[in-house]
Chains A and B, each alone.
Chain A
């Protein structure tokens, strides 16, 4: 029984050693997470890459490519809002839950909703942008039209006209890529290989549509909302979907796309 008392005393004593909590702070965009608790979440799961100062200079950052995000700048690559705007809480939550495929950013789907909400609230305290700007409004995504041979054919033409310079034949071997590209942080960056059937962020044709429409912040990937109509962007998305085993792609359209001239091939032929 005395040991039980010791156990109890130890536990009660330990409770008193708890860390001082930062004041609860709602982040921008009406997020009701607890930034203080979010810092605890960050220190457990994120600090090794993103660093104690959230500057992207964690102890494994030197071995990471692409480099971990510097949250002090408030620039987030993947957003459902137009290029240049802050992402929504849902955008940040998606990256936390799904991770970024092929990078050191793992999926944290096992974290509770509260943990994710709290760490987002903490991240939103790390850049002054969150105090002066509101997150962008997500783009409107029209209903996805059926992916057909015609759409894929038209999508290939649009891809050739708008994307080949960087993405080349879809594998990321365009002239600009060969020449060398850098992102806003001065780091070398390569265009995505779209034939792999999955992007860092994108999984479906809808995701490809969002990326094509809004671009990728901080990178040479521009938004195409001004250059292409939604219908055209869907066609590009369906062509890209047919380049690899993307979720929702069909074998029939993949085989069809494989028979088409590679982007850049027809125009460069003598």
Chain B
């Protein structure tokens, strides 16, 4: 059978999956394979005189012998880990606070989730100018009230500032999912805890939070996938600086690609990013599985 006959032999109800699958493959998987191939060549686009040469694992060796690269990997891990930690804690706290009836609770929920829908470019610029600007932002205003010199957030605490912004954007996402979790807990479970005389504190930590474990997993998993990709916020606020203090893997791949035009090295870094993502997700999955088994045992 040739390709056409084969395609023609697919039942219609199955064939309608093909257009979607083809375009997804063309935009994601095929380029990934090309990236893998490019990562073993030396090709600097702005130096056509040097040509394109196969260099084996040379790009990878160069990356892993550069001290900077290790601090960038560390930045990426720290940014992701601390952001997710803060998002989880604040997400649980806010979801718990908003999981009750009080006047205007729907409005409170509505405004709380708003930051999630603000685009990276805007979130970054609004924070950089209106809020954190040392002279003209709220930052400067508060400093002048307190008669202290304003803090230079982007200069001195660049990575921390990026974490702050990521947390601001992603906490609402955690709240959305965890709130749905809290709402799905059955009344009887809470009532029986009350009858047993458990304090509100104990009910929260020993009954409610374990009951929404799946929701927490989903939030953390998706948070992990998206926060590892953080790019726009860094681009418009710190531009990875000062130095490389707030550069993460996506940002360094961007710099290496579109400033130095070093295709080989950039793609090698991109492959390392993919591997790191997979390792992080697998590790998280493993951790979750182990936890679940412990609970079941």
State yes or no: do A and B come from one complex.
no
Where the two chains meet, the residues of B that have a C-beta atom closer than 8 Å to any C-beta of A are none
